[in-house]
Amino acid sequence: MYRLSTFMLFLALGTVFQQSHGIEVNVTDKDNKLCLYANLMVNFSVSYEVTGNKSATVKFELPLEAETSGSVCDTTTSTLKLDFGDGHSWSINFTRSGKIYQADTIVFSYNLNDTKLFPNSTSNETATVTVKPHIINVGVDTCYSCKSDDLIEADMVSQTLSNVLIQAFVSGGSKSDNLTTCAADVPTTTVVPTTTNATSTTTAIPTTNVTSTTPPTTSTPVPTIPAPSTGKYNVTASDNKTVCLLATFGLRIGLLQNNKYEEMNLDPNVTTAHGLCGVNISDLVLVSGPLTLMFTFTNDTKKFHLHALNITGNTGSGVAFSEANTNLSLWEAAISSSYMCNKEQNSTITDALTLFTFKLQVQPFGVEKGLFSIAEDCQADAESFLVPIAVGVALIILILIVVLAYFIGRKRNMSAGYESF
Single out the residue of 25, 397, 64 nearest to residue 175, CA to CA.
25
User: What pLDDT is stored for residue 354 in this prediction?
Assistant: 94
Q: What is the pLDDT of residues 107-144, one digit of tens each?
A: 999 999 999 999 999 999 999 888 888 888 888 999 99
Q: What is the pLDDT of residues 2-59, one digit of tens each?
A: 444 443 433 333 333 333 458 999 999 888 999 999 999 999 999 999 988 899 999 9
Structure confidence at residue 414 as a pLDDT band (50, 70, 90): low
- The arithmetic mean of pLDDT across residues 363-381, rounded, is 88
Largest CA distance in the chain: 145
Give the burial class of 83: count Cβ atoms within 10 A of its Cβ; 0-12 exposed, 13-18 middle, 19 or more buried. middle
The answer to whether domain 19-185 and domain 222-377 are alike in fold is yes
Q: How far apart are CA 263 and CA 255, in angstroms?
A: 6
- Please enumerate in sequence order all residues whose Cβ is within 8 A of that of 323, keeping only pairs 6 or more positions apart, or say none: 255, 310, 311, 312, 349, 350, 352, 353
- The arithmetic mean of pLDDT across residues 93-110, rounded, is 88
Give the burial class of 284: count Cβ atoms within 10 A of its Cβ; 0-12 exposed, 13-18 middle, 19 or more buried. buried
Q: What is the pLDDT of residues 215-235, one digit of tens each?
A: 444 444 555 578 899 999 999
Q: How far apart are CA 236 and CA 244, in angstroms?
A: 5
pLDDT above 70 as % of the chain: 81
Q: How far apart are CA 353 and CA 221, in angstroms?
A: 10
Q: How far apart are CA 50 and CA 304, in angstroms?
A: 26
- The arithmetic mean of pLDDT across residues 353-379, rounded, is 94
Q: What are phi and psi of 409, to 5 degrees?
A: -65, -40
pLDDT above 90 as % of the chain: 47
Single out the residue of 297, 296, 301, 298 nearest to residue 311, CA to CA.
296
Would you list the domain boundaries of the chain? 19-185, 222-377
User: What pLDDT is stored for residue 38 in this prediction?
Assistant: 95
Q: How far apart are CA 288 and CA 308, in angstroms?
A: 19
Q: How far apart are CA 158 and CA 151, in angstroms?
A: 7
Single out the residue of 363, 358, 360 nearest to residue 373, CA to CA.
363
Residue 289 CB: number of other CB atoms within 10 A? 14
Range among 8-17, 209-218, 327-336 rated most confident: 327-336
Residue of higher predicted confidence among 374 and 104: 374
User: What pLDDT is stored for residue 4 in this prediction?
Assistant: 41
Q: Decide yes or no: CATH 2.40.160.110 for domain 222-377.
A: yes
Single out the residue of 329, 263, 249 nearest to residue 291, CA to CA.
263
Residue 304 CB: number of other CB atoms within 10 A? 26
Q: State the fold for domain 19-185.
A: Porin (2.40.160)
pLDDT score of 326 more than 90: no
pTM of the model: 0.53
Helix (H) / strand (E) containing 177:
none
Q: How far apart are CA 272 and CA 220, in angstroms?
A: 28
The secondary structure of the chain in percent helix, strand, coil, rounded to multiples of 5, reads 15, 45, 40
Residue 31 DSSP symbol: T
Query: Rounded to the nearest 5 degrees, what angle is found at the Cα of 247, between the Cα atoms of 241 and 248?
Result: 130
First-last CA distance in the chain: 145
Structure confidence at residue 202 as a pLDDT band (50, 70, 90): very low
Q: How far apart are CA 80 and CA 92, in angstroms?
A: 5
Q: What is the pLDDT of residues 299-322, one digit of tens each?
A: 988 999 999 998 988 887 778 888
